[in-house]
Amino acid sequence: MNRFLVHAILAYLLTASPFLIAKTFTILHTNDWQSRLLGFGPNSNYEPSRIGDGTVGGIARLATLLKAKREAAGQKGAVLVLDAGDFTMGTLFHTITRETGGELQLLNLLGYDAVALGNHEFDFGPQGLGDMIESALREAGSLPRLLASNMVLSENDPSDAKLRKFVKQGIITDHAIIERGEIRFGLFGIMGYDASEVTVSMGAVTFSDPIETSRKMVALLKEKKADVIIVLSHSGVTRKEDGSWGGEDVELVKKVPGIDIVIGGHSHTTLDKPILEGKTSIVQVGSEVQFLGELEMRINSSVVSMQNYVLNAINDQILGDNFITQKIEHLADLVSELILKPMGIRFDEPIAKIESGATRDFEDDVIGNLVASSYKRATGADIGFTPNGVLRDDLHYGRDGIQNYSDIFRILPLGVGEIEDTPGYPLVKVWVNGKELKSILEVLLLAYKVKNESYYPRFAGIEFDYNPLRVPFDRVMEVRLQQGDGSYLVVDLNDENSLYSIAATSYEGKFFWVIPEVSMGLLSVTPKFEDGTPVHDIGDALFDAQPDIKAIQEYKAWRALLDHIRKLVPDEKTHLAFIPTSGAAAHTPMIKRTSLDPQDLYKNATWIQWTATAVFLVSLSVLIFGFILLIRWKRSR
């Protein structure tokens, strides 16, 4: 009888509390697709139907890998497939995403359970995101759960009307419960501080505080009896100087108890093992479909713990899924028809041959010089300027250095027009005097160190010397303007009458207006028209690509780059435009001259450097005088 009673009790406990027996589950995850539907390398080299093409990545290969990993992990327990956002914006495919919802269609075809909305999903505005979702639903019929927990929509603004409709229909939601393998998974998705700060074209959409939102979501999911709580966080992590990990995802876990897993994105960080903050696992797989994360977890008596992690490379040893390949080829054909045909070009048409590969690293000036030169040439400006953050891809040499139009577009894919609802940031052109030019350079020298590396500046048409031993906002020693014959002429940095024109995109051009604010009033810049009158709005500074037509015709940055490359000297063998990557093409416009020589410390110095010197000398004099008094006092005792 006693033995029977024990067996009955055990049977009841096992039935009532399934986690008395540990259960395994697996999270397969990606982040920041960035519309990278094809592989890394020149698009002409990408052949997912064969092994060993020399490229990595590609959605067709991801589909094959996901299927295999899902089947294998399914033998152990429950499986979820998740993405942390920024699935769009980065290649020619995103130019038709409003019409096709192509990336969302693919996420659905690959069997994703839930996807966060990242900042780039809003690059075409809330209306554009609504169009994207609507198009994908029309083609696919269903979508993964779209998580946007701290997205705040307006009550009646027409720009986010479609998003309000999709929230009401439950297509976009602030949380989700997925029951699988006797486990209740609670999921929510957030946009981090930095991601929301760089979200453009938000219209009436705002984002609430991600920390407070996460606390509310965790409490809600616990009320709904979630066994495992997962956040899809488009926020990011950063490596500290001591080698440890920090950043918004780490701070989120510290400040919001109860999160078991963070599927991260936004910072494009490739983690080969999870960051463990307490018992919480934080993962991220870089960007652009180069890796698939495979996180194996265990839940036992409500305790969730990490068991194993594999960062799976998506390489040319994986055969791509044929159906997905055909789907992507169809999307490429649509790009040619809808976007490129009016320009007389095709998605897969060659445009140039590069001398060698080039990157966006600080030490490599080639791509920055190329882009800034294209702005300068397109607008006829004295100076072309671009920050590093808008350069979105390297120049990949591949097998033969041949670049298609679709390869070049990846360098400058971002944005939408100011007055035209078409892909790509338009160019602007403003004039400043010599003194203001120095102020612009001073802020740019500091911005990338204070903010982040995406603010690192690139130029064409000028070169300048700066001394890092001088005080901030007064480090530029000399600026030289390039002449038509390639020589350089020194600019008078105290001249307030002569004007110099600068070309940039509307996105970075807005920076010129906020220099007084970011310099705390120490510097002043007033963007001008050619006649010297102030330009008050970025829309008034738009460069007109076709002045013969009545309305302003925007000149897109990506179009300027393509036009510039087509005008380069052709390669002798291929007769394609030749893009050099050495010599003048790799010239460094910003020249650091670290020096304590008085001439270098005060050359073209303003009141900022002189005031700092005076303060230093007065402070030094006070210290010396105090030291002398101290010695005399000691001797008098």
Q: 482-502, pLDDT tens digit by residue?
A: 999 989 999 999 999 999 999
278-294: pLDDT as tens digits = 999 999 999 999 999 99
User: What integer pLDDT is reported at residue 551 of this predicted model?
Assistant: 87
Q: Is the pTM of this model over 0.85?
A: yes
Residue of 309, 407, 291 lying closest to 56 (CA atoms)? 291
3-state secondary structure of 64: helix
At residue 16, the pLDDT reads: 47
The pair of three-digit structure tokens given for residue 341, joined into one six-digit string = 């045909």
Chain centre to alpha carbon of residue 249: 17
As beta bridge partners, residue 292 has 312
Residue in 390, 372, 391 with CA at minimum distance from that of residue 382: 372
Provide the CATH number for the domain formed by 363-592 in this structure: 3.90.780.10
Nearest residue to 73 via CA among 265, 239, 374, 307:
307
pLDDT grade for 12, boundaries at 50, 70 and 90: very low
> Contact 290/313 with Cβ under 8 angstroms?
yes
Q: What is the pLDDT of residues 154-208, one digit of tens each?
A: 999 999 999 999 999 999 999 999 999 999 999 999 999 999 998 888 889 999 9
Q: Which two tokens mark 112?
A: 């994703």
The pLDDT of residue 3: 63
> Is the pLDDT assigned to residue 616 strictly greater than 70?
yes
**What are 144's two structure tokens?**
């993964």
Report residue 248: phi and psi, to 5°: -65, -40
**pLDDT at residue 14 tops 70:** no
Give the pLDDT band of residue 45 (cuts 50, 70, 90). very high
Q: What is the rounded CA–CA span in Å between residue 26 and residue 287?
A: 21
28-44: average pLDDT: 96
Please measure the distance between the N-terminal and C-terminal CA atoms of the chain and give it in whole angstroms. Answer: 99
Average pLDDT over residues 465-476: 96
Buried b (16+ CB within 10 A) or exposed e, 567-591: ebeebeeeebbbbbbeeebeeebbe
DSSP class of residue 268 equals -
What are the residue boundaries of the structural domains of the chain, listed by start?
21-313, 363-592
CA angle 509, 513, 515 (to 5 degrees): 105
* CA–CA dist 384, 429 (Å, integer): 9
User: pLDDT tens digits, residue range 555-603?
Assistant: 999 999 999 999 999 999 999 999 999 999 999 999 999 999 999 999 9
Q: What is the pLDDT of residue 129?
A: 97
CA distances 369 to 18, 339, 374, 406, Å, are: 62, 27, 9, 20
Q: What's the one-letter identity of residue 394? A: D
Written in H, E and C, the secondary structure of 336-381 is HHHHHHHHCCCCCCEEEEECCCECCCCCCCHHHHHHHHHHHHHHCC
**Residues contacting residue 420 through CB under 8 Å, at least 6 positions apart:** 426, 554
CATH second-level architecture of 21-313?
A: 4-Layer Sandwich (3.60)
pLDDT band at 450 (very low <50, low <70, confident <90, very high): confident
**CB 34 within 8 Å of CB 287:** yes
Tell me what pLDDT residue 87 has: 98
In this prediction, residue 10 carries a pLDDT of: 47
